[in-house]
Amino acid sequence: MMKGKELYRGKAKTVYATDDPNWVIMHYRDDVSAFDGAKLAQLEKKGETNNKINAFIMGRLEEAGIKTHFGKLLNERESLVRAMKMLPVECVVRNICAGSMSKRLGIEEGTRLPSPVFEYFYKSDALHDPMVNDDHIRVLGWASEDDIQRMRILTRRVNKILQPLFANTGIDLVDYKIEFGRAVDEPEGPLLLGDEFTPDGCRLWDTQTGEKMDKDRFRRDLGNVIEYYREVAKRLGVPL
């Protein structure tokens, strides 16, 4: 499949067209950002590390019955994925209180929750991804009532698959965000998991030490960001 023109450049990935309009190439760059782009850097091997972690996670989810946009790994930094029309909503699950939940509610970071907490956020960098509820999504036309409920069900299913997967490697899946959409060639088709699942979009803590193994290392100037990303990959059994 031939790589075509650049379609979209995000904070850490570039999407390219192919000779098939139903498939695109997702290129993972070494860029890392935080605070809606206010803090930027480049970290060697970040792109290839995230590309391979995402391919592994998407594969495990597909095996468990979660439909995704992922096609196949093409090379160190690129994957073939279905062209998607995404819903402008981020779905977040929290197993341990951290980040914005801790700040909003005054709950000590690291508090283990008796059951997972599910949240929606409107995907908008300009508005700093505000938290929203079912009514916002439905009334403002971002998704149908059926889509809203389906996103909730699928996000919780992802948690039931990935939480024990990480736990078996000595890693707590603290929280994560995922996004959904539909393939452009199936506008009335099923919701598919899109975007990525990497240490950029979730919190991962070492179960024994509590060491952060995700992008909080960059946000909080803890150092050794890529070393910990690659440790995550190593524990999962992802070949680097």
Number of domains, the chain: 2
Q: In the listed set 43, 59, 82, which residue is the last one of a domain according to the structure?
A: 82
> Do 89 and 69 fall within a single domain?
no
- Residue percentage of the chain with pLDDT more than 70: 100
Which residues, 6+ apart, have CB-to-CB distance to 188 below 8 Å? 182
Q: pLDDT at position 1, please? A: 81
How many CB atoms lie under 10 A from the CB of residue 83? 18
> Do 158 and 47 fall within a single domain?
no
| 5-62 pLDDT per residue, tens | 999 999 999 999 999 999 999 999 999 999 877 899 999 999 999 999 999 999 999 9
How many CB atoms lie under 10 A from the CB of residue 14? 18
Low-confidence ranges of the chain (pLDDT < 50): none
Which residues, 6+ apart, have CB-to-CB distance to 63 below 8 Å? none
Q: pLDDT at position 137, please? A: 98
Six-digit token pair at 127? 């508005």
Q: pLDDT at position 35, please? A: 86
Query: How far is residue 141's CA from residue 186's CA, in Å, rounded to a whole number?
Result: 19
Q: Which domain holds residue 99?
A: 85-225
Q: pLDDT at position 63, please? A: 98
Global pTM exceeds 0.85: yes
